[in-house]
Amino acid sequence: MKDKSLISIDDYSKADIINTLDRAEDFERNPHQPLLEGKVIASLFFEPSTRTRLSFESAISRLGGKVIGFASKDSSSVQKGESLKDTIKTVNNYCDLIIMRHPLEGSARYASEVADVPVINAGDGANQHPTQTLLDLYSIRQTQGKLDDLNLFLVGDLKYGRTVHSLLMAMSNFNTTYHFVSPPELRVPEEYKMFLKEKKLKFHEHTDFTDIISDADIIYMTRIQRERFSDPMEYEKTKNSYVLRNSMLEGTKDNLRILHPLPRVNEIHDDVDENKKAYYFPQALNGVYTRMAIMSSILGL
Amino acid sequence: MADSSKPKLQVSAIRNGTVIDHVPAKHLFKVIAILGLDKITTQITFGTNLESKKLGHKAIIKLSEVFFKDEDINKIALIAPHAKLNIIKNFKVTEKSEVQVPEKIKGIAKCGNPNCITNNDHVNTAFYVLPKDKEKVALKCHYCEKITDPEDMEVF
Ligand SMILES: [Zn+2]
């Protein structure tokens, strides 16, 4: 993984994934390792994402590195119409690694082709957000003690949700049984179902979110966004049918954990927060360890 | 009335060059664009909406003094997977071949995703060609990873 950009989760083999998770586990046990001392990391956020940016910057600080960059397009020269290539070509003179968030799909792959230093994709439009996927995998392994042979429930917007697609692909390395729970208009795209069929992995599609969760090991909740619906009434109705409440967790497996990429709107009711099966806040902390692992592996440290 | 003795429509013969047969009629103009035939100055004859058992309606292109490199001609396999090539030397067919679907194509088509970097910055397009089923292929953008159907692709 040394010197290799991380743009799409497909860039990492099963072995790369496992190495990264092992490394993250080491950082969780011993977070004080100043491996990035003397290194400069550029954090280029062409669109704001406070959560992801802070997670990366926290990981860099814990490793003793320095951050340069910008938090939104308004504070950068991009505003003046500079091409992405010129921005990257300039910035890579000042740093050892680039972390980039950009609203256009494919921007991170392109940046990695013009940059002389490795690039980590922190989200390119609706396409990929591989560090989120790795922290999701870390949380799954941490709570289940393994990644193999799990029943994974994905709930909400399964059509446009990029975190869902990347997680689905990454988990296909581990003999997962999938359950897709979504309104009919937000079903998993055909290409992903074809992929699972080819890999001979089981998947089930549901439109009702009820007692089907009794054999779940992981429930991964996602936000249903208003802009996906042309009819606002349809949105209101739909969004309220895919809400997880504490009462629904009765009779579920002990090892079940609830994950969510955050931020949430109303899809997980507040009364779930106190349940020990709620795991979305520790999941966010895992993002820091995972990103420490990814950055130090890429820099060969 | 069916008349088997009715002469076949013939597009005039060429001395030296390439004949591209079995092009789906509806994609003739895309094939012309992909191969850049609008920039060629030697003699070209087209026949289109000819009857074909396999394709319904086919087109045929005869190019004088034009010979293609495999990597160039294979680009048309995306929309004309059954196209056949005849190389003509001195009015005789000296070589026959079929187009092969390439693994990767660069810079001939637009990505169908308006939010792709290639549609918003000066970036050349590149696609991986994936088999969709026996007859068709899909184009996966190297950058945004979205799928473009060759049937809808816009050629530069
Ligand atoms: Zn694209």
The domain boundary residue, chosen from B53, B77, B98: B98
Mark whether A123 and A162 lie in a shared domain: no
- Within 13 A of A177's CA, how many CA atoms are on the CB side? 8
pLDDT class for A197, splitting at 50, 70, 90? Answer: very high
**Same domain (yes/no): B86, B46:** yes
Q: Which of A264, A248, A301, A293 is nearest to A12 (CA)?
A: A293
Nearest CA in chain A to B130: A191
Residue type present at position A186: L
What residues make up the domain containing A94?
Answer: 9-128+287-298
pLDDT at B8 over 70: no
CATH number, domain containing residue A90:
3.40.50.1370
Phi/psi at A279 (nearest 5 deg)? Answer: -135, 15
Query: Could you tell me if residue A223 is inside a domain?
Result: yes
Q: Are residues A25 and A72 in the same domain?
A: yes
Are B80 and B125 members of one domain?
no
Where does the pLDDT of residue A237 fall: very low under 50, low under 70, confident under 90, or very high at 90 and above?
Answer: confident
Over residues A36-47, the mean pLDDT reads 97
Strand order in the sheet with A151-155: A203-206, A177-181, A151-155, A218-221, A257-259
* Res. B133 pLDDT band, cuts 50 70 90: low
Which residue has 């494919």 as its token pair?
A106
Write out the catalytic residue numbers of A: 51-52, 80, 101, 129
Q: What is the pLDDT confidence band of residue B2, given thresholds at 50, 70 and 90?
A: very low
Q: Domain check: are B35 and B58 in the same one?
A: yes
Q: Which residue has the higher pLDDT, B135 or A68?
A: A68
Higher pLDDT, B135 or A297: A297
Element (H, E) at B73: helix B70-73
Q: What is the pTM of this model?
A: 0.88
Taking contacts as CB-CB distances below 8 angstroms, the residues of chain A near B106 are none
pLDDT in tens, A135-185: 999 999 999 999 999 999 999 999 988 899 999 999 999 999 999 999 998
Q: Classify residue A3: in a domain, yes or no.
A: no
Which residue among B80, B98, B116 closes a domain? B98
Tell me the ipTM for this assembly: 0.89
Q: In which domain, by residue range, is B65 found?
A: 17-98
**Can you give the pLDDT at residue A218?**
98
Average confidence (pLDDT) over A101-121: 97
- The answer on B94 and B24 residing in a single domain is yes
Residue type, A270: D
Among chain B, residues having any CB pair with chain A shorter than 8 Å are: 111, 113, 115-118, 120-123, 141-147
Residue B139 identity (one-letter amino acid) = L
How large is the angle between the packed helices A162-171 and A190-198, nearest 10 degrees? Answer: 10
Distance from residue B110's CA to the centre of ligand 1 (Å): 8
> How many domains is chain A partitioned into structurally?
2
Q: How far is the CA of B114 from the centre of ligand 1 (A)?
A: 8
What is the model's pLDDT at position A78?
Answer: 66
Strands A40-45 vs A66-70: parallel, antiparallel or unpaired: parallel
| pLDDT score at A239 | 85
Task: For residue B60, give the CATH number of its domain.
Answer: 3.30.70.140
Do B86 and B144 belong to one domain? no
Q: How far is the CA of A261 from the centre of ligand 1 (A)?
A: 25
- Of the candidates A8, A107, A191, which has its C-beta nearest B117's C-beta? A107
pLDDT on residue A79: 63
Judge if A113 and A102 occupy the same domain. yes
- Per-residue tokens: A181: 């729970």
CATH number at residue B139: 2.30.30.20
H helices of chain A, in order, are: 14-29, 50-62, 84-91, 107-114, 130-144, 162-171, 190-198, 232-241, 280-298
Identity of the highest mean pLDDT range in A267-281, B78-92, B119-133: A267-281
Predicted local confidence at residue A157, as pLDDT: 94
pLDDT tens, position by position, B28-63: 999 999 999 999 999 999 999 998 888 789 999 999
Cα–Cα distance measured from residue B94 to residue B73, given in angstroms and rounded to the nearest whole number: 18
Confidence of residue A199 (pLDDT cuts 50, 70, 90): very high
Tokens of A76: 């950068």
Q: Is residue A1 part of a domain?
A: no
User: What band does B7 get if pLDDT is binned at 50, 70 and 90?
Assistant: low
- Would you say A111 and A98 are in contact if contact means Cβ atoms under 8 Å apart? yes
Contact B145 A125 (CB under 8 A): no
Contact flag A105-B144 (C-beta cutoff 8 Å)? yes
Q: Is position B1 within any domain?
A: no
**Per-residue pLDDT tens digits for B69-116:** 998 899 898 889 889 999 999 999 999 999 998 999 998 899 999 999
Alpha-carbon distance values, A124 to A46, A64, A164, A222, B49 (Å): 10, 27, 15, 18, 44
* Beta carbons within 8 Å of B150's beta carbon, 6+ residues apart: B78, B79, B109, B136, B137, B138, B139
